[in-house]
Amino acid sequence: MIKLKEVQTKKDLKNFVKFPFKLYKDSKYWVPPIINQEIKTFSKKENPVFNDADARLFLAYKNGEIVGRIACIVNWLEVKEQSQKKMRFGWFDFIDDFEVSQTLLNEVEKIGKSHNLEYSEGPVGFSNLDKVGVMTEGFESIAPMITWYNHAYYVKHYESAGYQVEKSYSESKFPFENVKPEFFKKAQELIKRRYHLTPLKLTKTEEVMPYADKMFDLFNESYASLSSFVAINDVQKEYFKKKFISFVNPEYIKFVVDKDDNMVGFAIVMPAFAKALQKMNGKLFPFEFRHIINAKKNSKDVIFYLIGIHPDYQNKGVHAVIFNEYYETFKEKGIETCYRTPELEDNEAIHKIWKHFSPEVYKRRKTFRKNIA
């Protein structure tokens, strides 16, 4: 018999965060989160998303052992402002036992019905900057720090519970040697002159910060047309600046502005931290932080985290300006492999941007949906 326990105490929350450490202890490809940071994600004092969202966390027990977990989430901005009557769920992990996964999903659906929501979808986080999707291909490659890893058996549990595919994502990679500057070198010079654009050369985090709010505003504008997009508000901007910007090499953040200093394009690339996080095994201090510092300085792999172009400048080649800036930076640093985060497979615009680099899809993931009304 499966017993559910709602997370109420600090001990419960720590057990919730640490359950995957047990589930994936023998995996070479799972990347552990930093435990204290993951705990803060669910803190109403630390994470401003709780100003507009609710989350209830549950642990599943069998014979006194934790065998599964799930976060049941309602994003009220999505429900009330976009009329998306969606019950979200994420951080969904479980042993290969259908009774466990079904019991956890039943709780999601029960909470969704209590709020008069129409369907449940997952795995997703609170917002568009959280992790998304259950992996369906690519189990034998290490997971980036900004995605979930899961066992191959997960998919059959969704299907057994009556869930159907809602969105499909792909992750791709390409060697830096695939980047041929002739595809963008001349074009970017023409584009800069035609539209009076300037790429900013940033070398310090404090130089990035004055532009960070403009970047998040542009993120909201450039991604607004994608399905289930929820804009980032001002309070969340401050949170993400504090949480992410310091981890990113300032030279890996590219901004393009017009003659009036309005931002028309941006991109964020991160060093590959996955192997460093595996060495840290969830701990940050006192000595493990050195692995992050080493990866930040010396990683030869990078991950394209975000790229956004203002709607008025889309299809005008602004991405060529951004790629030229990265080309020079990566050449200087000896970068070997470029990875891309999950992208919706129906996002044709983003796929066109990358086509000249001959990317190879190495992972796929999906979200699943079930009507509950």
Q: Are residues 185 and 270 in the same domain?
A: yes
**What pLDDT, in 10s, does the model give residues 10-61?**
999 999 999 999 999 999 999 999 999 999 999 999 999 999 999 999 999 9
Q: Are residues 181 and 274 in the same domain?
A: yes
The fraction of the chain above a pLDDT of 70, given in percent, is: 99
* Identity of the residue numbered 85: K
The answer on pLDDT for 366 being more than 80 is: yes
Q: Are residues 58 and 193 in the same domain?
A: no
Q: Are residues 166 and 185 in the same domain?
A: no
Q: Is residue 372 part of a domain?
A: no
Longest dimension (CA), the chain: 69
Angle of helix 234-244 versus helix 205-223 axis, rounded to 10: 130
Q: Write down the pLDDT at residue 369.
A: 98
CATH classification at residue 341: 3.40.630.30
**Structural element, H or E, at residue 235:** helix 234-244
Q: Are residues 155 and 288 in the same domain?
A: no
Helix (H, G, I), strand (E, B) or coil at 46: coil
Q: Which of 171, 189, 218 is the last residue of a domain?
A: 171
Mean of pLDDT values over 263-277: 92
The answer on pLDDT for 123 being more than 80 is: yes
Lowest mean per-residue pLDDT among 148-162, 191-205, 236-250, 351-365: 236-250
Q: Write down the pLDDT at residue 323.
A: 93
The fraction of the chain above a pLDDT of 90, given in percent, is: 69
Total count of domains within the chain: 2
Q: Are residues 333 and 350 in the same domain?
A: yes
Q: How confident is the model at residue 258 (pLDDT cuts 50, 70, 90)?
A: very high
Angle at 316 between CA 311 and CA 322, to 5 degrees: 90
Q: Is residue 368 part of a domain?
A: no
Q: Tell me the average pLDDT of the chain.
A: 92
Q: Write down the pLDDT at residue 234.
A: 85
Whole-number Cα distances in Å, 168 to 75, 120, 292, 346, 366: 21, 16, 31, 8, 5
Q: Is residue 221 part of a domain?
A: yes
Q: Are residues 22 and 75 in the same domain?
A: yes
Q: Is residue 369 part of a domain?
A: no
Lowest mean per-residue pLDDT among 139-148, 172-181, 241-250: 241-250
The structure's pTM equals: 0.91
Determine the Cα–Cα distance for residues 41 and 62; give it in Å rounded to an integer.
27
Mean of pLDDT values over 350-360: 84
Q: Are residues 184 and 107 in the same domain?
A: no
Angle at 81 between CA 79 and CA 86, to 5 degrees: 15
Q: Are residues 278 and 202 in the same domain?
A: yes
Q: Which of 279, 341, 334, 278 lies closest to 304 in space, CA to CA?
A: 341
**What pLDDT, in 10s, does the model give residues 212-245?**
999 999 998 888 776 667 778 888 888 888 877 8
Determine the Cα–Cα distance for residues 126 and 120; give it in Å rounded to an integer.
13
Q: Are residues 7 and 33 in the same domain?
A: yes
Mean of pLDDT values over 275-295: 85
Q: Which of 122, 147, 171 is the last residue of a domain?
A: 171
Q: Are residues 252 and 326 in the same domain?
A: yes
Mean of pLDDT values over 176-199: 92
Q: Is residue 298 part of a domain?
A: yes
The answer on pLDDT for 106 being more than 80 is: yes
Q: Write down the pLDDT at residue 228.
A: 64
Q: Are residues 331 and 288 in the same domain?
A: yes
Q: Which of 140, 171, 202 is the last residue of a domain?
A: 171
Q: Is residue 373 part of a domain?
A: no
Q: Is residue 371 part of a domain?
A: no
Helix (H, G, I), strand (E, B) or coil at 286: coil
Pairing of strands 343-344, 164-175: antiparallel
Q: Is residue 370 part of a domain?
A: no
Question: Which range of residues forms the domain containing residue 149?
Answer: 2-171
DSSP readout, 109-171?
Answer: HHHHHHTT--EEEESB-SSTTS-B-EEEE-TTSPPPTTS----TTHHHHHHHTT-EEEEEEEE
